[in-house]
Structure 1
Amino acid sequence: MPFANFKFPEGVVDAASKEEIIHRTTAMFVEFFGEQARPYSMVLVEEVADGGWGRADETLTLARMGLTKPE
């Protein structure tokens, strides 16, 4: 089963963007594996709490990345 897991800072990806990520990722799986992969494709879009992840030994926050949480 093709599987993709996307993680984004909480609040920076709206519902429409999540839906587009799911559709486009599924389309990529189908392009690569064929139409038979569509019903078995799984795409997980997760939101991570601000400061709940890091890279290169640095805790990332929206402020450090120069992002703001949409109102």
Structure 2
Amino acid sequence: MPFANFKMPEAALTKAQKEDLVHKTTQMFVDYFGEGVRPHTMVLIEEVPDGGYGRADEVFILPDAYRAKDSA
């Protein structure tokens, strides 16, 4: 069973962008392994809250300019 796990800042993607990521990731696995993997492919998108990730002693907060803009 192919499995993809994406971790990204909370509010970085809209619902539509997450759905697109699931579809494109599934299609990538199908292109690589064949159509038989489609029903068994799992794509998990985990959203990490602001301040819940960092690098080199720097804690990250997602700037407003990078937050998803829902059209709804």
TM-score normalised to structure 1 length: 0.83
Other-structure match for 2:51: 51
Offset from partner CA, 1:28-70 (integer Å, 9 cap, x none):
000000000101100001111001012234322214xx63565
CA-based RMSD of the aligned residues comes to 2.1
Q: Percent identity?
A: 55
- Within 5 Å, which residues of 2 pair with 1:1-71? 1-63=1-63, 67-68=66-67, 70=69
TM-score normalised to structure 2 length: 0.82
Structure 1 runs (4+) greater than 6 angstroms displaced: none
Give ranges in structure 2 of 5+ residues lacking alignment. none
User: How many residue pairs are counted as aligned between the two chains?
Assistant: 70
